[in-house]
Chain A
Amino acid sequence: MGRLAEILNHLQQGNSEMVSNLTRKAIEEGISPKEVLDRALIEGMNIVGKKYGDHEIFLPEVLLAAKAMYAGMDVLKPLFLKEEVPHRGRIVIGTVQGDLHDIGKNLVGIMLKGAGFEVIDLGNDVPPEMFIEAVKREKAMVIGMSALLTTTMPVMGKVVELLRQEGLQDRVKTIIGGAPVSKEFAQEIGADAYSYDSANAVKSVKELVDEVKERYGGNP
């Protein structure tokens, strides 16, 4: 079995120690960090994400695999020049103002992180302005919003509206989720995407990030 295939294998099993050791070995053997990252770590998480989406494996296995991926990342990070530390995209996420339900949002955050995105979590009860400040400050490509109450859904519309007023709607994509919201509601308020669970959220965020990157290059 090739070195990368080995890493891929241990990552899926959630074996952090082996992933860390094998990543080190791969580098010693002259495989480029970029290649290890793309073909073993990221690819491993893609497979894990797909298996989870297909209900072949359960949440704990995904989280263990993500942990293993980060163990490999820790080995690679010092080898990248500072400005090129690769991340797949930066996402600001939060539960909207008036709403304290953060379990679903947290889960989506964990899974996005596991998939290699950089996640800035603003917590719960987040006012619309705070989302906008955060994307500007963090140069994020996506805003993820969660609402579990009928009464707090409208806040999502306000965030989309503010983004438009700031002229940021093309550079920053919005995705929403939570039990009372739907695809139709997303369309109604002009949000770019809706997801019903974390595996689906990862898939949608990937698409949104790719869209932004295509237009504006890696770092908007």
Chain B
Amino acid sequence: MRPILRLLNDELVERIVSEARDVLCKLGVEVHNQGVLSMLRDHGARVEPTKSRVFLTNTIIDQALDTAPKSFKLFDVLGNETHDFSDNNIYFTPGSAALNILDYPHGEIRKPTTDDYVRYAKLVGKLKNIASQSTAFIPADVHEKISDSYRLYLSLLYCEKPVVTGAFSIEAFAIMKDLQLAVRGTEEELAAKPLTIFSCCPTSPLKWGEVTSQNLVDCAASSIPVELISMPLSGFVAPVTLVGTLVQHTAETLSGVVISQLANPGAPLLYGGSPAIFDLRYETTPMGAIETEMIDCAYSEIGKFFGLPTQAYISLSDAKQLDAQAGLESAMGATLAALSGINSISGPGMLDFESCQSMEKLVLDNEICGMVYRLIEGIEPKDDFPSLPKFEELLREKHLLISEHTRRYLRGEFYLPGQTIDRTNRTRWQGEGGVTLLARAHREVERLLDEYSPSRLPESIKREMKKLMEAEARRHGMKGLPKTNW
């Protein structure tokens, strides 16, 4: 049986949804984008132009929910299927867009460079339980105007997995789409085999900025999947209660579903988010708080109530180092997310309120994800009944180490983590140098990087992407791109 967690009963889900609809129809949402406002007006929404406020109707909302796909797939750069966002399937993706990277071994933070990004992309390619890349941080050695597209470029060059990403401006969308077209060949092929997911964030409370609403429309028009990332902060720019925050999250996310589906009915999307409680003592947005994780799991239930695939920023930590807090918060989040069937689980590698990526943590989190995958497989009988023959064998042989049953099921029944997780006895652990978690994780990072083999994307495509990216860099006054060889 697949274990499933539920935090809301049906009645509460329906009440939250009906309150959210009320908010959208009676209070409306602010949309700071003329094109999007007129699109909404053309479809029957009332617009108050001076305040850029638009009042939705239940008909518009229902239509959007009707056309939004109930599932969709992702494909790697070679065109192989990697993700099927449907039912309770789960996939992990690293936390994205960190400001800093945590340096080994001293645990200092610094702004990342192209070299760091390349190492990261290579590493993600080797992590079995991380299904996609994300554009995890911003290389500081290129012009800020290309910092979003350049991450995508490096990702597509060095790693075959699909990419969770996002644009920082309206203009950047063009090059970020062109890079994908270079990989897929044609518009049709890109629409048929999505390669990326773009984050599109409403601003709490109940507002869409010009850039993100345009990104949302542009992605929809090209059938590029989006994840709607609403971030109500409970107690500050959202009600302090989890239910109140859920009403706001539902309203903000539904408004995104509407914009996307009006732009292109059937455009793929994830019902997602990155809400957090607001810690009124430290003025921070803890992602590892249990209440933050409860909000995530609960809105995923609401997304599933609409029949939509879901996403959340949930398996990450606010710790500053790879310490016990980092492990406990990430593991708790990953476990709850998996039990809730959140389809795209964002967070691995991330520390410090979504602002710091660590390669060593990514390797540890990969193990957490492995354990969690095992958890959701649940407990199933495997040639266990009738039991008597096995127990007769055990009593006769005194052990089952070489039993046929053991050999058949050992590998599937247990998830055997890599060397980052210590399962040696103390004497052996001491004998091998008493290596700490951080050092073990680092060793694993280096081992996996040594094993790296280049992406099998054809050279001609890599060269074409390079040309596109160089032209974009020149457009912004850069002479060239930092040196890389793939």
Contact = CB atoms under 8 A, between A and B. Distances in A.
Contact of A197 (B99, B211, B282): B282
B283 A59 contact: yes
Size category of the binding interface on chain B:
20 to 34
A150 B144 contact: yes
A186 to B, nearest CB: 15
A180 B354 CA distance: 11
A122 to B, nearest CB: 17
B49 to A, nearest CB: 20
Main secondary structure of the interface of B (DSSP, over half): loop
Given A59-B283, A103-B237, A149 B353 contact: no
B353 A179 contact: yes
A82 B355 CA distance: 48
Interface string B345-375: 0000000010100000000000000000000
Interface in B130-180: 138, 140, 144-145, 147, 168-169
B342 to A, nearest CB: 25
A58 interface: yes
Contacts of B144: 150-152, 154
Interface in B325-359: 353, 355
Contact of B280 (A60, A98, A151): A60
B283 A107 contact: yes
A150 B99 contact: yes
A55 B283 contact: no
Interface residues of A, number: 18
A63 B145 CA distance: 39
Contacts of B168: 149, 151
Contacts of A154: 144
A198 interface: yes
A61 to B, nearest CB: 9
Contact of A150 (B138, B209, B211): B138
Main secondary structure of the interface of A (DSSP, over half): loop
B209 A55 contact: no
A59 B279 CA distance: 9
A106 B243 CA distance: 25
A26 interface: no
A180 B99 contact: yes
A104 interface: yes
Contacts of B233: 103
B138 A58 contact: no
Contact of B355 (A55, A59, A179): A179
A205 to B, nearest CB: 16
Given A151-B168, A179-B99, A104 B283 contact: yes
A149 B144 CA distance: 10
A154 to B, nearest CB: 7
Contacts of A100: 203, 209, 211
Nearest to A200: B283
B429 interface: no
Given A103-B236, A150-B147, A58 B280 contact: yes
Given A107-B283, A197-B282, 18 more contacts: A55-B281, A55-B282, A58-B280, A59-B283, A98-B169, A100-B209, A103-B236, A149-B168, A150-B99, A150-B111, A150-B147, A151-B144, A151-B147, A152-B144, A154-B144, A179-B99, A180-B100, A197-B283
15 contacts: A58-B281, A98-B169, A100-B203, A100-B209, A103-B236, A103-B237, A104-B283, A149-B168, A150-B140, A151-B138, A151-B144, A151-B145, A179-B353, A180-B99, A180-B100
Interface of B: 99-100, 111, 138, 140, 144-145, 147, 168-169, 203, 209, 211, 233, 236-237, 280-283, 353, 355
Please provide the 4 A-B residue pairs with the shortest distance between their CB atoms, ordered closest to farther: A151-B144, A58-B280, A59-B280, A180-B99
